[in-house]
Amino acid sequence: MNRIANNDIKYLTGVGPKRAELLASELKIHTFYDLLYYFPFRYVDRSSIYKIGNLTGCDVPYVQLKGHFINFTENGEGARKRLNALFTDGSGIIEVVWFNRVKSIKQNYSPGVEYILFGKPTLYNGRYSLAHPEIELSKPTMLQRGLQGVYNITEKLRNRSISSRTIQQLVENMLKILPTDLNETLPPHIIAENHLMPLREALINIHKPVSLQHLSQAQQRLKFDELFYLQLNILRYTKQRTLNISGHKFNVVGTPFNDFYNNHLPFPLTGAQKRVIKEMRHDMGSGRQMNRLLQGDVGSGKTLVAFMTMLIAIGNGYQTCIMAPTEILASQHYETISKLAKGIGVKVALLTGSTRKKEREILHSQLQSGELQILIGTHAVIEDTVIFHNLGLVVIDEQHRFGVAQRAKLWKKNATTPPHVLVMTATPIPRTLAMTVYGDLDVSIIDELPPGRKPVHTMLQFDTHRESVNRFMGEQIKLGRQIYIVYPLIHESETLDLKNLEEGYEYICDVFPNRRVCFVHGQMKPAEKEHQMQLFASGAAEIMVATTVIEVGVNVPNASVMIIENAERFGLSQLHQLRGRVGRGADQSYCILMSHPKMSADTRKRLQIMTETNDGFEVAEADMKLRGPGDLEGTQQSGLAFDLKISNLARDGQIVQQAREIASRIIENDPTLSNPENRILNQNLKALFSRTINWSLIS
């Protein structure tokens, strides 16, 4: 790219070796370029000065005050030592306080001299005070500064006298020398067609905006840059994959599929189910390997879709396999699929950690001979001893619990050509994110529930209203329904979690002495767990007290009430998954979120969303907006190719879309980016990668 940009930051005026070390370790700023791309997290208007006398209310924004210190006094001893000062601008007095750097503050600032303070006043005992404000000598030119960037600073930097203001100063020093040396990152036609601000101007304005309008254009341009390269990178891989990896070509739909569809289908398929089956039929007939992510809300009928897709593979003479994250889920799939397969003469088997050795041996030989057509199991199916005759399709359920490495292992289960891969997840991933993170998978969505489902009625209840909840439970049981009660696993201490759960169990047994209560948690022996689950599934037990082990898969249509204890400790997607355990039968279902009455506004907002919508995509979208995409369940391990410095996948959906379209057009015409007009794109992709890789090795 440019000459100066890659210079070590220590050579910038105002930095030097000591500060360079701090900037590197605290903010990952190693070069001029890194500083240039260290953007302000917000902006303040420094052209206006507040009057102390006009401060009102308890939530005052950041303000600028002009005046002088009246006095300084030291208080406290040792670690509790602090410095207090009174500051006035003639309209009133505000207290200023420092909890460290007492000595240097006292040396550097004197009473009577005019300063500008910048900070956020807080109301304490009826009086405003300002902790650790930024302080500058008041100069007449100061008010011409206008909009200024505020930079994130760590505690350690602050203690070493590097403030947001310091960063601002360093950026100014850099902007004096850098702009002439900056190369564009986008070809002229993209800039022109999309009315983007040139890079040089955008970088200047992101740090020192001429006006709010300039700032917004600068943000738009830099977000576009980031998202465009992210998309370009993903699409480049996708394209290469579709060009290079050949797959088994399934020429016919086949007899098993047709037989099942015409004679054994338990209910008419929904429109969405039909559509995604067609999508997969097309993939598997194309001669290329299918890599498809099937998303569908809990209860949308993914199992049936997976089964029918497997029938196509079987009809073409291939074997198939389903991998599920837990033994319980694998067994349930086995039961469902055995039933479905009964009438059409397809052979199904279950393989888990608890499959007996003898059974296992039979299974192994049937797999090798090709006699066995559907294998259902847990991780056990990827063990090296499991050898297929000709595996044509792999279905992975609940994708987020499997790592990428495990997926790759399944690929190798067919020695000549990798099997088609169908990944199913009920964790709805918003489209913008799926596009960006799972760019290497094609996405199918079942966006329609089977007919007749009633939305689950969701309520928020405080612990203090437990008795009315108990009464409600009693009524529902009298109506013949069953109830789940779920406790969170908090991970801090397993013994403590278990104690919580056990106490909850005992409490429920006390409240409902005449009812059968079963009890399930992750540390139980598989056989005991199975027994307890069975009690509930058969209807022998009316209440199940459990941890989140029931989160995935379990299907008991008569269970219509889900009570979630300490709901505030769960992620929204997890709450939604849990709620999906009810609402599977004909009765009105309920989900009650129990929580402590004292919760933060954010927590309340999160839980509120659950009561407002039953749509998993809406829940995920809202979750992502509140928590940011990094935290979204199911995406942690996938990661993005580069850090996003300015764009936000949740909020910038429109730019994601725009960037995606443009990137896709370019890749379509020039998959290897080797046309002269695209050379700049190739160079920048390389540069982005070398940056990511270099620094991650060092830090």
Closest distance of CB 426 from ligand ADP, Å: 5
| Alpha-carbon gap, residue 6 to 11, rounded angstroms | 11
Tally of CB atoms within 10 A around 143: 15
Closest distance of CB 281 from ligand ADP, Å: 17
Tell me the Ramachandran region of residue 28: left when phi exceeds 0, alpha when psi lies from -120 to 50, beta otherwise.
left
Count Cα atoms within 13 angstroms, Cβ side, for 6. 10
DSSP state of 320: E
Under rule CB under 6 A, residue 269 binds ligand ADP: yes
Under rule CB under 6 A, residue 324 binds ligand ADP: no
Tell me the Ramachandran region of residue 566: left when phi exceeds 0, alpha when psi lies from -120 to 50, beta otherwise.
left
Give, for 169, the enclosing helix (H) or strand (E). Answer: helix 164-177
Cβ-contact 567, 527 below 8 angstroms: no
**CB-based contacts of 369, cutoff 8 Å, min separation 6:** 389
Tally of CB atoms within 10 A around 161: 11
Between 269 and 644, CB nearer to ligand ADP: 269
Cα of 522 vs its chain's centroid, Å: 25
Tally of CB atoms within 10 A around 329: 21
Between 449 and 508, CB nearer to ligand ADP: 449
DSSP state of 423: E
| Alpha-carbon gap, residue 236 to 114, rounded angstroms | 59
| Alpha-carbon gap, residue 83 to 68, rounded angstroms | 16
Give, for 335, the enclosing helix (H) or strand (E). Answer: helix 327-341
Between 116 and 304, CB nearer to ligand ADP: 304
| Residue from 163, 220, 270, 309 binding ligand ADP (CB under 6 A) | 270
The residue range among 299-307, 357-365, 399-407, 531-539 that interacts with ligand ADP, by the rule CB under 6 A, is 299-307
Between 222 and 395, CB nearer to ligand ADP: 395
Reduced to 3 states (helix: H, G, I; strand: E, B; else coil), residue 545 is strand
Under rule CB under 6 A, residue 399 binds ligand ADP: no
Between 353 and 557, CB nearer to ligand ADP: 557
Residues in 153-212 that interact with ligand ADP by CB under 6 A = none
The residue range among 106-114, 119-127, 295-303, 378-386 that interacts with ligand ADP, by the rule CB under 6 A, is 295-303
Pattern 430-459, ligand ADP, x by CB under 6 A: --------------------x---------
Under rule CB under 6 A, residue 93 binds ligand ADP: no
Q: What are the tokens at 653? A: 């959906």
* Residue with smallest beta-carbon separation from ligand ADP: 301
| Residue from 298, 391, 434, 572 binding ligand ADP (CB under 6 A) | 298
Closest distance of CB 559 from ligand ADP, Å: 13
Reduced to 3 states (helix: H, G, I; strand: E, B; else coil), residue 21 is helix
Cβ-contact 583, 482 below 8 angstroms: no
Size of residue set near ligand ADP by CB under 6 A: 15
Residues in 206-235 that interact with ligand ADP by CB under 6 A = none
Under rule CB under 6 A, residue 293 binds ligand ADP: no
Closest distance of CB 325 from ligand ADP, Å: 13
Between 185 and 270, CB nearer to ligand ADP: 270
Count Cα atoms within 13 angstroms, Cβ side, for 29. 29
The residue range among 92-100, 228-236, 237-245, 301-309 that interacts with ligand ADP, by the rule CB under 6 A, is 301-309
Closest distance of CB 431 from ligand ADP, Å: 18
Pattern 603-642, ligand ADP, x by CB under 6 A: ----------------------------------------
Tally of CB atoms within 10 A around 484: 24
Q: What are the tokens at 556? A: 């008991």
Residues in 524-543 that interact with ligand ADP by CB under 6 A = none
The residue range among 37-45, 268-276, 349-357, 385-393 that interacts with ligand ADP, by the rule CB under 6 A, is 268-276
Under rule CB under 6 A, residue 303 binds ligand ADP: yes
* DSSP bridge partners of 674: none
Closest distance of CB 493 from ligand ADP, Å: 32
Amino acid residing at 218? A
Under rule CB under 6 A, residue 426 binds ligand ADP: yes
The residue range among 95-103, 112-120, 265-273, 455-463 that interacts with ligand ADP, by the rule CB under 6 A, is 265-273
Under rule CB under 6 A, residue 301 binds ligand ADP: yes
| Alpha-carbon gap, residue 508 to 519, rounded angstroms | 11
Between 223 and 581, CB nearer to ligand ADP: 581
Between 133 and 325, CB nearer to ligand ADP: 325
| Alpha-carbon gap, residue 699 to 695, rounded angstroms | 6
Rg of the chain over Cα atoms, rounded to whole angstroms, equals 31
Under rule CB under 6 A, residue 302 binds ligand ADP: yes
Pairing mode, if any, of strands 391-397 and 319-323?
parallel
Closest distance of CB 638 from ligand ADP, Å: 21
The residue range among 20-28, 131-139, 161-169, 302-310 that interacts with ligand ADP, by the rule CB under 6 A, is 302-310
- Closest of 450, 461, 428 to residue 577, by C-alpha: 428
Residue ranges binding ligand ADP (CB under 6 A): 267, 269-270, 273, 296, 298-304, 426, 450, 555
